[in-house]
Amino acid sequence: MSLIDEIAERHILEAIERGELDDLPGTGKPLTLDDDHMVPKELRAGYRLLKNAGYLPPEVESLREIGDLRAVLGKVVDSPERDLRVRRLRLLEARLAEGRGRGLAAGVQQQYREQLLASLGKADPDPVSHKPARSGPDETK
């Protein structure tokens, strides 16, 4: 244990002895920890931040929408409406299959990027290459 860990542990134990931690919210209840063991350690904080801000990876949103469409399809009798929903379901399934095993498909990544930038109030400087727009003299030389 490092010196900082030992100092922190000592302060925590002293606070427990004084009873300063007795009336904390959630005392005696199990912790609700996210199952993020599949996420690389260096990305966990960023993923948690995005999740807490209400953002989900496009793949997860697609899975949710696929589930919703399947549930609705069991109840829809109207043929044109059903056909429209079946086409939407097939499109989502195809996009999802395209991205599996290789990360997200380029189109889905672009859509996620645009939504994220829009929520931050920023425009994509170069939507084609995802690089910051260049400034200066003629770039074609």
Alpha carbon distance 82, 99 (integer Å): 26
Reported confidence tier of residue 83, pLDDT bands at 50, 70, 90:
confident
Reported confidence tier of residue 138, pLDDT bands at 50, 70, 90:
very low
Alpha carbon distance 98, 93 (integer Å): 9
Reported confidence tier of residue 135, pLDDT bands at 50, 70, 90:
very low
**CB contact at 8 A, 82 and 127:** no
Per-state percent for the chain, helix, strand, coil, to nearest 5: 55, 0, 45
The region of weakest confidence among 97-106, 109-118, 127-136 is: 127-136
> Using N-to-C axis directions, what is the helix angle for 106-119 and 58-73, rounded to 10°?
100
Top-confidence range, 9-13, 25-29, 35-39, 50-54:
9-13
Amino acid letter, 123: A
DSSP state of 134: P
Reported confidence tier of residue 8, pLDDT bands at 50, 70, 90:
very high
Alpha carbon distance 11, 2 (integer Å): 14
Q: What is the pTM of this model?
A: 0.39
